[in-house]
Amino acid sequence: MKSELTIFNELVDELLKLEKSEPVVKLGAPEGMKDKFDIAVSDEPMSEDDFKAVLGNVVLNTPRTASRSFFNQLFGGRNPVATLGELLSVMLNISMYTYKVGGPHVGIETELVQQICSRIGFPIEESGGTFAPGGSMSNFMSVIIARDAYDPEIKNMGVSKRLIIYTSKESHYSIAKNATFAGIGRENVRYLPVNEKGKMKTEDLELLIDQDKKMGLHPFLINATAATTVLGSYDDIDTLGDIAKRYGLWLHVDGAYGGCVIFSEKHRHLVKGIEKCDSFTINPHKMLSTPLSCSIFVTKHKQQLVESFSQDASYLYQGDDDYNLGKTSLQCGRRNDAFKLWALWKSVGTKGLEKMVNQLFYLADVARDYVSNHPDYKLYSFEESTAVCFNYKDIPSKDVCSALADHGALMVGHGSFGDQNFVRLVTVNSSLTENDILNFFKHFEKFTEEYYF
Binding site for ligand PLP (CB under 6 A): 74, 134-136, 139, 172, 174, 225, 229, 254, 256-257, 283, 295
Residues 402, 28 contacting (CB under 8 angstroms): no
Least CB distance to ligand PLP at residue 235 (A): 10
Residues 353, 115 contacting (CB under 8 angstroms): no
- Comparing CA positions, the residue from 244, 256, 307 lying closest to residue 281 is 256
Q: Which is nearer to ligand PLP, 79 or 225 (CB)?
A: 225
Q: Which is nearer to ligand PLP, 139 or 308 (CB)?
A: 139
Q: Which is nearer to ligand PLP, 234 or 342 (CB)?
A: 234
Q: Which is nearer to ligand PLP, 174 or 397 (CB)?
A: 174
HSE-up of 309 (CA within 13 Å, CB side)?
31
Amino acid occupying residue 277: C
Least CB distance to ligand PLP at residue 22 (A): 27
- Report the alpha-carbon distance of residue 355 to residue 261 in Å, rounded: 11
Least CB distance to ligand PLP at residue 176 (A): 12
Residue 128, strand partner residues? 299
Residue 378, strand partner residues? 391
- Report the alpha-carbon distance of residue 179 to residue 156 in Å, rounded: 18
For 48-86, b where at least 16 C-beta lie within 10 A, e where not — what string?
eeeeeeeeeeeeebeebbbbbbbbbebbbbbbebbbebb
Q: Which is nearer to ligand PLP, 138 or 324 (CB)?
A: 138
The CA–CA distances, whole Å, from 312 to 19, 142, 156, 396 equal: 48, 21, 15, 55
Q: Which is nearer to ligand PLP, 154 or 221 (CB)?
A: 221
What SS3 class is residue 391? strand
Q: How many CB atoms lie within 10 A of CB 377?
A: 17
Least CB distance to ligand PLP at residue 228 (A): 6
Least CB distance to ligand PLP at residue 279 (A): 13
Residue 130, strand partner residues? 297
Supply the angle between the helices 205-214 and 237-247 in degrees, to the nearest 10: 20
Amino acid occupying residue 416: S
Least CB distance to ligand PLP at residue 72 (A): 12
- Report the alpha-carbon distance of residue 369 to residue 213 in Å, rounded: 47
Least CB distance to ligand PLP at residue 168 (A): 10
Least CB distance to ligand PLP at residue 188 (A): 19
Q: Which is nearer to ligand PLP, 137 or 366 (CB)?
A: 137
Q: Which is nearer to ligand PLP, 202 or 229 (CB)?
A: 229
Q: How many CB atoms lie within 10 A of CB 287?
A: 31
Least CB distance to ligand PLP at residue 203 (A): 22
Least CB distance to ligand PLP at residue 330 (A): 13
Which letter does DSSP use for residue 200 in this model?
A: B
Residues 197, 382 contacting (CB under 8 angstroms): yes
Q: Which is nearer to ligand PLP, 220 or 257 (CB)?
A: 257
Q: Which is nearer to ligand PLP, 146 or 154 (CB)?
A: 146
Residues 453, 395 contacting (CB under 8 angstroms): no
